[in-house]
Amino acid sequence: YRPFYAASRFDELALLFKTISFGCLFLFFVIFFDDAASATNVSTRLLIVVYWAILLSAVGTGRLVLRSIQRRLLINGIGIHRTIIIGAPERARQLRDEVRKYPALGLRVAGFIRLEQHWSGPADDPTPVLGGLDDLVTVIPQHDIREALIAVDAADHERLLQIVTRCSAFNIGVKIVPDLYEIISGLAKTNAIYGFPLIDVSPQLMKPWEEGAKRLIDLAVAGIVLIVGLPVWLLVALAIKIDSRGPVLYRQERVGMDGKRFNIVKFRSMVADAEKAGPQWAAKIDPRITVVGRILRKLHLDEIPQVWNVLRGEMSLVGPRPERPVFVEELSREIPLYPRRLRVRPGVTGWAQVKHKYDESIEDVRKKVQYDLYYIENMSLRMDIKIIVSTISHMLMWKGH
């Protein structure tokens, strides 16, 4: 179900109509094929239409009643979220005044966070200035802040990225005004909030049941791939041994969720001691890659041993690819939003892998980070399935990235 704020009645009914109609349509076709096989009459199928109408009316009415009660509670101050507004004085005060016009948002402004040392405004302003960006670490717990609204000028790109990065360190919601969205395109969920033009940068990446289902799928698929594909993996190991000297498996330290380090496992696709001169970016035409290794990379088979990392809980089937510590440190300095990738388990494949090529430069990494952030803020089981299907398609068509 939706977050704490009251949703638009139209949006609520539109989503309900789509969900119930899809379910009834699926049920209709199941009964249709069953009736066709057993040569029964069409009356059973017609009952689905009646069922659809009753279900839509009953559930729709119930949801509207519940949302109306929720809206009334929020307007009366029950279940509200204490909020800070981060930005320049005039723009911050304008945003505060607008928030007050929409009590169904369930937001109560606790104070402002200034961006500069000087704050201009009337002395009798009822909303206090709680401090600057450096004070967030004390302001948020002290005032029980649950939401942060960003009100900076659209031209201030770097400042916006800095604010979002700072707020991401806390378990609070972050919302921005629409004219700032393009600056961090690929970062935020595009969920307009009822009655007020704000876009949500959601701290809850997946619903709890989806997280559980994602983990179960990880375990099931990883186990099947590991066991059923065992004869193939033995042949791959033999080919690697025949092709070049060195071990079959290659282990390398990577940075996972919450910055925890682990050893990733891959089939070796490069010559032994390929990085004796130090870490290097991969290249499309890389002399270090062996003949068998090039085939493995084209088919993504070099990544298969990572199902062991998936079983251990260090990785997921789908997610941003894990990087080496030295590159994480470098990229975190170069790309302000890069650390957000560490909020989720890294994956064997990901949105960036099916959309972009190998990282050959810092610009390639910047582009992939955009894809990774888009995945993180829009991750769902449906998107995971889409990525897995695309990955299989790339493997079959030899489009290895």
Q: How far apart are CA 265 and CA 315, in angstroms?
A: 11
Residue with the bigger pLDDT between 355 and 268: it is 268
pLDDT classification of 1: cutoffs 50, 70, 90: very low
Domain check: are 88 and 67 in the same one?
no
pLDDT tier, 219 (very low <50, low <70, confident <90, very high otherwise): very high
With H, G, I as helix, E, B as strand and everything else as coil, classify residue 28. Answer: helix
Q: Which of 75, 93, 123 is the last residue of a domain?
A: 75
The band of 196, judged by pLDDT with boundaries at 50, 70 and 90, is: low
Question: Which comes out higher in pLDDT, residue 66 or 180?
Answer: 66
CA–CA gap between residue 267 and residue 290 (Å, rounded): 12
Residue 192 lies in a domain: yes
| Domain-embedded: residue 2 | no
Q: If you ran DSSP here, which 8-state letter would residue 274 be given?
A: T
Query: Mean pLDDT of all residues in the chain?
Result: 80
Do 244 and 190 reside in the same domain of the chain? no
d(CA 294, CA 281): 16
Is the domain of 332 the same as that of 374? Answer: yes
Tens digits of residue pLDDT in 85-97: 998 888 888 888 8
Residues 228 and 176 in one domain: no
The answer, yes or no, to whether residue 263 has pLDDT greater than 50, is: yes
What is the rounded average pLDDT of the residues 33-51? 66
Q: Tell me, what CATH number does 195's domain have?
A: 3.40.50.720
Q: For 240, phi and psi rounded to 5 degrees?
A: -65, -45
My answer on whether 93 and 241 are in the same domain is no
Does a structural domain hold residue 1?
no
Domain boundaries, position 257: 208-396
Residue 401 domain-assigned (yes or no): no
Residues 323 and 222 in one domain: yes
Task: Choose one of 75, 96, 131: the last residue of a domain.
Answer: 75
Task: Give the total number of structural domains in the chain.
Answer: 3
Mean pLDDT of 134-160: 83
pLDDT band at 34 (very low <50, low <70, confident <90, very high): low
Q: Looking at the predicted structure, is the pLDDT value of residue 139 above 90?
A: yes
Same domain for 173 and 236? no
Say yes or no: 25 and 130 in one domain: no
Whole-angstrom CA distances from 92 to 126, 153, 181, 202 are 13, 10, 17, 21
Quote the strand ranges of 40-146, DSSP E.
Answer: 81-87, 107-114, 129-132
Q: Which residue has the higher pLDDT, 3 or 116?
A: 116
User: 3 lies in a domain?
Assistant: no
Please indicate, yes or no, if residue 97 is contained in any of the structural domains: yes
* Same domain, residue pair 37 and 163: no
Residue 36 has pLDDT above 60, yes or no: no
**Which residues make beta-bridge pairs with 262?**
254
User: Which pLDDT score is estimated for 223?
Assistant: 93
More confident residue, 53 or 190: 53
Give the pLDDT of residue 8.
61
Do 246 and 376 fall into the same domain?
A: yes
Q: Is the pLDDT of residue 173 over 80?
A: yes
Last residue of a domain, one of 177, 201, 225: 201
Q: What does residue 169 show for φ and ψ, rounded to 5 degrees?
A: -75, -15
Contact 76, 49 (CB under 8 A): no
Residues 69 and 116 in one domain: no
Choose from 37-51, 204-218, 247-261, 386-400 the range with maximum mean pLDDT: 247-261
Query: Does residue 4 form part of some domain?
Result: no
The per-residue DSSP string of 146-194 comes to -EEEEE--TT-HHHHHHHHHHHHTSS-EEEE-GGGGGGGTTTS---EET
In-domain check, residue 378: yes
Position 216 confidence tier, pLDDT thresholds 50, 70, 90: very high
pLDDT tens digits along 324-351: 898 888 888 877 778 878 889 999 999 9
Write down the pTM of the prediction: 0.60
Q: Are residues 129 and 41 in the same domain?
A: no
